[in-house]
Each structure stands twice: as C-alpha cells, then as structure tokens.
Amino acid sequence: MRTADFVHATLVAAAAAALATGCTSSTGGNATGSTALTSTEVVEVFNPCTALPDQLLTEIGLDASTERVVTDAPEGATSWRVCAWEQPDALVRVTVMSTSHTLDDARANDNLIDKVETTVGPRAALQSKDRTETPGKACYTSFEAEQGMFEINASWFDADDWTRDICEISADYAAAFEPHLPK
C-alpha cells in the first residue's frame, strides 16, 4: 500500500509542481550576473537531491533513508529538481522543489487556491493549495530565490492521521530549509 501511495503522491507532486508555477514551454538560456530570470528560462537550479545533507534532514525531522527522487536531470540546465522525504513516523511526506519558475508564476496560477502572502525567513513567500488535491491533504509554501523559487510541499499519507493543519507543517519545514537553500 505504501508503494501505491508513493506513486500517487509522486505523480501528484510532479503535476502540482507544474501547475503551481503555471509551467510554460522552456527555452535554453543561462542566468548571468544581474540578469533577471523569467519563468521560461532553463537554468542549472539547486539540486536538493544531492545538496541537502542527511544530517540536516534528520535535524529537521525527516528520515533521510526515505528519499524519493521525483525529478532530477542527470546534469546541466533544467527548470525543476524535486526530491521528497518522509517523517520517521511515516505520517507526512515533505517535497523540496527547486525551480527556475517564479513566485509571480505561482501567484498568477488559477489552479492554486487559498493563496496567502507570507514570508519565509527574509524571503517573500506564498502559501497555497492545489485545487485538485483533497482539501486538507497537502499544502505548498513557495518562496523566492535568485534562480526562481523553492517550493516546500507537505502532504499527509492517511486521512486518519490528520492531526494538524498541513499548511502549518509546510511552513515549519520551509522555515527549517530556508537558511540552507541558495538566496
């Protein structure tokens, strides 16, 4: 059952990630100096799958051995790199999405609901839910970065375990990850 849950969650996370940023077709390009990124640029985004150490994951309450690579181009430029981990009690999966898409893309996306402007550390942020998700099951905390943005998604595995607002959990993990992610 856990494998089926993972496959579903992985597909939902990938689809939601695309929806959350209003994915459009990409064009090649590299970010340089002070050039502002646009949501359609493909750059070499931060790789949470390889750059976040196991010790950090453990310190913030995730089981490093549960890593699931959702999307990670073998090398070079890409608009998305996405990895997920579970809490040790296997109640919540936390997905870190690194993208060249921007916070403005997320703000403009009609597939996102319950949008709330906020901050994560010193960064502008947006908290939202995907309208295709079961209400209360998952929440995104998206915050700006020079490369575009980072999105931290938290999602429950089983409805019986929903003991806390999933957006609070997403915000807590976003705050824990933020100092370890590139500005």
Among candidates 84, 81, 85, which has minimal Cα distance to 145? 81
Q: Please, what are the domains in the chain?
A: 48-180 (3.40.1000)
Helices marked H in the chain: 2-20, 48-51, 54-59, 103-108, 166-177
Q: What is the pLDDT of residue 86?
A: 97
Statement: residue 101 has pLDDT above 50: yes
Statement: residue 14 has pLDDT above 50: no
CA distance 133 to 26: 26
SS3 106: helix
The predicted model scores a pTM of 0.78
HEC readout, 116-166: EEEEECCEEEEEEEECCCCCCCEEEEEEEECCEEEEEEEEECCHHHCCCCH
Please give the backbone phi and psi of residue 18, each rounded to the nearest 5 degrees, phi first. -65, -40
Q: Counting beta carbons within 10 angstroms of the beta carbon of residue 32, is it exposed (0 to 12), middle (13 to 18) or buried (19 or more)?
A: exposed
pLDDT, average across residues 152-169:
92
CB 166 within 8 A of CB 154: yes
Task: Give 35-71 pLDDT, tens digit per residue.
Answer: 344 455 567 899 999 999 999 999 999 999 999 999 8
